Amino acid sequence: MKDCIFCKILRKEIPSEFIYEDEHCFAINDINPKAKKHILVIPKEHIESLNEIKDFEIVKKLFEAISKINIKENISHFKTLINTGAKAGQEVMHLHIHVLSD
Ligand code: AMP
Ligand code: ZN
């Protein structure tokens, strides 16, 4: 998607450090962290939100990625959050899972 921040990051049009990447997803540190560690786990495919998922295999891939990231980043306790829809606080309209750990 042309004007999507996360698609731009994936295309390297906006600089960001990838802390994880596989065939289906990637992860970056949130630019405005709300916890000591605040990671965003993002599908490479531009899916607007949880409401637009057609093939739920991607949900499995995202949580597999979270599991690998947590081992890599030594995260043992954490919260996940998926804002879905602007009224729920979703600012970036490209599905992402927040992983928050203090
Ligand atoms: P949400 O409100 O669930 O859509 O969350 C969007 C998140 O993306 C917010 O926590 C922002 O701080 C974060 N964010 C926005 N732009 C960037 C960026 N360029 N790099 C990293 N995180 C970003
Ligand atoms: Zn996108």
Cα 47 to ligand 1 centroid, rounded to whole Å:
15
pLDDT on residue 1: 87
Q: What is the pLDDT of residue 49?
A: 98
* From 8, 17, 32, 49, mutation site for ligand 1 pocket: most ligand atoms within 8 A of C-beta: 32
Within a domain: 20:
yes
Question: Distance between CA 99 and CA 96 in Å, rounded?
Answer: 10
Please give the distance, rounded to the nearest whole angstrom, from the Cα atom of residue 64 to the centre of ligand 1.
21
Percentage of the chain lying above the pLDDT 90 cut: 98
Q: Residue 81 falls within a domain, yes or no?
A: yes
Query: Per the domain annotation, does 52 fall within a domain?
Result: yes
Q: Identify the CATH number of the domain in which residue 47 sits.
A: 3.30.428.10
Whether 101 maps to a domain, the answer reads no
Q: What is the pLDDT of residues 4-27, one digit of tens each?
A: 999 999 999 999 999 999 999 999
Question: Is residue 98, in this structure, part of any structural domain at all?
Answer: no
DSSP single-letter state for residue 73: T
Instruction: Determine the pLDDT at residue 75.
Output: 97
Query: How many structural domains is the chain composed of?
Result: 1
Residue 96 falls in the annotated catalytic set: yes
* H, E, C per residue of 25-70: EEEEECCCCCCCEEEEEEECCCCCCHHHCCCCHHHHHHHHHHHHHH
Q: Convert the pLDDT of each residue in 37-72 to its tens digit.
A: 999 999 999 999 999 999 999 999 999 999 999 999
Q: Is residue 69 part of a domain?
A: yes
Q: Which domain holds residue 16?
A: 5-93
